[in-house]
Structure 1
Amino acid sequence: MDLSQNEWQQKLAADTNAVVLDVRTDEEYQNGIIPNAIHNDIYKGQGFIYRLDELDKTKNYYVYCMAGARSAQACSIMKQMGFENVYNLVGGIMNWEGEIVNP
């Protein structure tokens, strides 16, 4: 599900079962993350799938990338793998007005 910046941030703040997932490259990840994000680079192909398989499907996943395209793709893959609640950050971290921290 695509959420605007405000919707994503509000839903995340109120969610006690949330996991923030950063699907950018290692280099992008090192430049700053949304707090508490776990990293899984979508460009790693099968490695990306293996790491998704290790995640708890009962959690709610808030997924972001740089601009929103890779995270939308990641959400689609996650849905196909049986993840029920995945939320794509429209506009990605480049439009994020919330806190950004060093990983």
Structure 2
Amino acid sequence: MEDDVYSFGLILLQSLIGPSFSSRNETFLLNEMVSLGTLDGQRRIVDPTVLASCSQESLSIIISIANKCISPESSTRPSFEDVLWNLQYAAQVQATADGEQRF
């Protein structure tokens, strides 16, 4: 089960980074997770389409849960229920941001 959460974290990371994911090795990407904690790092690594369409708060939630999923310390990885809860929360945050932009 722990390996499944790790794999899911890599899928989340792939979703954030986009097509460039397949051209980079896993170790490089795991090292780049540190950069996702800063706005400059996000601009450098995250797919421009994701940056343009995702609120900063929602993006931060997704980065946080992906980071927890790929933690080298398997005992600190979240359960699938925690992952799903956080993704649902990120979707609600995004829906709120999208609604505020309309007005």
* TM-score, with length taken from structure 1: 0.27
Name whichever structure is richer in helix by fraction. Answer: 2
* TM-score, with length taken from structure 2: 0.27
